[in-house]
Structure 1
Amino acid sequence: MAELSLTLTGQPDAASLAQLGDNLSAFNAADVGPSGRAALAVLLHEGETLVAGLSGYTAWGWLYVQWLWVAESQRGQGLAGRMLAAAEAEARTRGCHGAYIDTFNPQALQVYQKAGYTAFGALPDFPRGRTRTFLSKPLA
């Protein structure tokens, strides 16, 4: 039997990361069934300029919002709520029953709570001086 070697790197190669992801996906699919993972994005442009956007994916009946950004000049106009609503509507058409998101920004936390998301967990000092809050919302 070959000896195991452990490698710690800050610059993993793409092939190793792809193999890691493929192996974990195969394990999860065998354990709980295929994820049905599909990308989802909502983009707002002013002319040719991107002024707001949401990016995430749906998998296992859930919408995960990974990134949500609004240009400073566009904030306070309800764009985040509009993008969330659009993503949630698409997630429902994909058969999703819930959505989740996280943030360490106090203003974003208020926006998400106003959109119907409820906190289910928190990591204090992530980053230092802030709390990273994890929120979910049923999509009934």
Structure 2
Amino acid sequence: MSDFIADHSDSLAVLAKQKIAEFNALHWNASLRQPLGLKKLDNQGELIAALTGRTFGNWFYLESFWLAESYRGKGLGKAMLLEAEQLAKQRGCRYVLLDTLNFQAKPFYQRLGYQIIWTQADYPFDGGAKYFMQKQL
């Protein structure tokens, strides 16, 4: 029988990240990591676009980028992403890293200069794929 205790809680996930951050702090100044976020509201104050990530050193990690379906294909997403890249560049970033699933926005990112650096095949199931993409700013 195992001595390990099953704990699938959010609090354990937060604690594990905290412990890693404490270890990493011995090797670099993690306080230089900064959140980066942009949002767009419609005339009624409803969220129609959101972009979040973080910058650290040479890198901008784009974690989440969502655009309401009715606003897609009209240039809003491109404008928002380019603005985020500019903010990251002003912070000293030279690269952007993101991931996207096969049914999400790979062609959009490719049109804006992102290149696939690795593909996680059969993610999350057979026939699916997660693309890790990078762009030099």
Q: Provide the C-alpha distance between the structure 1 equivalents of 2:52 and 2:34, rounded to a whole number of angstroms.
A: 11
> Does structure 2 retain, via aligned residues, the 8 Å contact 1:104–1:127?
no
- In structure 2, the residue matched to 1:94 is 91
> Does structure 1 retain, via aligned residues, the 8 Å contact 2:57–2:92?
no
Q: 1:52 aligns with which of 36, 49, 53?
A: 49
User: Would you identify which runs of 4 or more consecutive aligned residues in structure 1 move more than 4 Å?
Assistant: none
Name the SS of the counterpart of 1:101 in structure 2. Answer: strand
Could you tell me the TM-score, scaled by structure 2's length? 0.87
Q: Provide the C-alpha distance between the structure 2 equivalents of 1:91 and 1:102, rounded to a whole number of angstroms.
A: 17
Return closer, same or farther for 1:105/1:51 CA change in 2, 3 Å cut-off.
farther
Cα shift readout 1:89-109 (whole Å, capped 9, x = no counterpart): 000111111101100144500
Name the SS of the counterpart of 1:55 in structure 2. Answer: strand
The number of equivalent residue pairs is: 133
Return closer, same or farther for 1:50/1:103 CA change in 2, 3 Å cut-off.
same
Return closer, same or farther for 1:85/1:98 CA change in 2, 3 Å cut-off.
same
Name the SS of the counterpart of 1:30 in structure 2. Answer: coil
Aligned pairs for 1:64-103 (under 5 A) are 64-103=61-100
**Which letter maps to 2:25?**
A
- In structure 1, the residue matched to 2:35 is 39
Q: 1:132 aligns with which of 130, 133, 137?
A: 130
Extract unaligned runs of 5+ from structure 1. none
Q: CA deviation at 1:44?
A: 1.1
Could you tell me the TM-score, scaled by structure 1's length? 0.85
Aligned pairs for 1:112-123 (under 5 A) are 112-123=109-120
Q: Provide the C-alpha distance between the structure 1 equivalents of 2:66 and 2:13, rounded to a whole number of angstroms.
A: 27
Identity %: 33
Q: CA deviation at 1:18?
A: 3.9
Cα shift readout 1:28-47 (whole Å, capped 9, x = no counterpart): 2323x123111111111112
